[in-house]
Structure 1
């Protein structure tokens, strides 16, 4: 094994050991704290809000043989961080299961980079197309919760989401614009921890999103000829206050 790889593994092991010791210490400390809001989870319905950072990207499936499109070599994507704000409506189903509806607004920007022979200059270059999206999200999700340990409770999430992109250029007649449709659908999964404070519950969480709708708009332009299917991918760091 390369020495550099060994150093990386050692550093990661150190990080995991420190994190484990911190979790053990936190759990031991939590056992001795008086519980905040002990009857909070017995409420049939409660509300809150969400703030988050999103990283939307594309999953690109090119056509099987790009050589059939003269001057088209590859396409890739880049992403930039965006933000998400939403409102939480939580319905208690059982002691360990909730149904949640979280309508939200998410703003993001993605870039497609095409390695092609540019039709006008006839030179090989990288052509970029920036795609700005402003999503109105309508996700439904199930939240499976662990047993509460004093002021902490772990959970996992799973659900489906419909998104409407109000910034979509689907019907714009401009060959310089890469178009994606207004409507998108995706599955979402994540995990997090509920932290109970005296007057509210704070929950950091990480979620992943896998779109299953094809986002290709067949407008006849050169840049879509090498793409067979285009889907949304995303990862979100959210903070909820309930």
Structure 2
């Protein structure tokens, strides 16, 4: 319970969390620049001339549903059930296929598998003894994700380079119909499509390129499936939203 409360507090202060991660990226990049000022030779000097290169990545997202309440929810206010999404951590690994398009523009295909456990809190739920209670519906998802992004690279400065990415991410949920964790409270759709964008820092080492990246993902499709229950009737629409810290090795 304490662990869950910690992630709930992260949701309440997500802007501070995003700022902190961005600050860490900047500090980390600055420290690396100062540490390698004395190194005159560029690592992997012909890297950008390669048409295609490969790699892998590890990502940690802070994920939640963006919930839009239904008319049934509005009708039972005030004093009715309160429905709020909670931020939870996740994990996703994947592979990298990078194709050079122009001098400073790449196309990136990043197939991976995402493991998520998004939660919705139902507070003041009615019970048989007329005592209000709260309940959490946790929807566990194992997603096959296929991000297709464009990467705009700044000019390389020594062994460092900033970049921006943006594109779309289709996804397929392998277990959306099982609903084992929710007890049939809420069902979700099998497919999703998200808009993604982010910023990162390429760091060139003698044998590989390392890149920490901060990426934002906003779901475009309603994930609430047609299913009638006292829980799902209070929700009209819910979409996936992630803030992810990703480490690339290429």
TM-score tier after normalising by the smaller chain length:
0.7 to 0.9
For residues 101 and 225 of structure 1, do their structure 2 counterparts lie closer, same or farther at Cα, with a shift above 3 Å needed? Answer: same
Residues 70-109 of structure 1: pairs in structure 2 closer than 5 A: 72-109=80-117
Match of 2:60 among 49, 53, 63: 53
Query: Is residue 30–residue 149 contact of structure 1 (8 Å, CA) maintained in 2?
Result: no
Please, which runs of 5 or more residues in structure 2 have no aligned partner? Answer: 1-18
8 A contact 1:55–1:108 mirrored in 2: no
Show the counterpart of 1:156.
Answer: 164
Deviates further, 56-65 or 213-222? 56-65
Residues 25-83 of structure 1, C-alpha deviation per residue, up to 9 Å, x if partnerless?
82695475310111101000010001111122110111357341477432112232211
> Given the alignment, which residue of 43, 47, 60 partners 1:40?
47
Contact 1:195 1:201 in 2 (8 A): yes
- 2: CA distance, partners of 1:150 / 1:197: 11
C-alpha separation between the residues in 1 aligned to 2:95 and 2:105? 19
Larger Rg computed on CA atoms:
1
C-alpha distance 96-31 of structure 1, shift in aligned 2 (>3 A) = farther
How far residue 170 of structure 1 moved from its aligned partner, in angstroms, is 6.4
1:227 aligns with 2:231: no
SS of alignment partner, residue 111 of structure 1: strand
Structure 1 runs of 4+ aligned residues shifted over 4 Å read: 19-22
TM-score (norm 1): 0.84
- 2:226 partner SS: coil
Q: Secondary structure at the match of 2:147?
A: strand
Pair 1:240-2:248 in alignment? yes
Superposed CA RMSD in Å reads: 2.7
CA distance in 2, matches of 1:198, 1:79: 38
Which of 103, 114, 120 in structure 1 is aligned with 2:122?
114
Aligned in 2, Cα 1:125/1:96: closer, same or farther, shift over 3 Å?
A: same
More strand by share: 1
The one-character-per-residue Cα deviations of 1:111-156 (angstroms, maximum 9, x if unpaired) are 1111243354443221211111111101100000000001001000
Partner residue, 2:222:
214
Q: Give matches, 1:135-150, under 5 Å.
A: 135-150=143-158
Tell me which residue corresponds to 1:26: 33
Q: Does structure 1 retain, via aligned residues, the 8 Å contact 2:72–2:233?
A: no
- What are structure 1's unaligned runs of at least 5 residues? 1-11
Mark the CA change 1:201 to 1:22 in structure 2 (over 3 Å): closer, same or farther. Answer: closer
TM-score normalised according to structure 2 size: 0.81
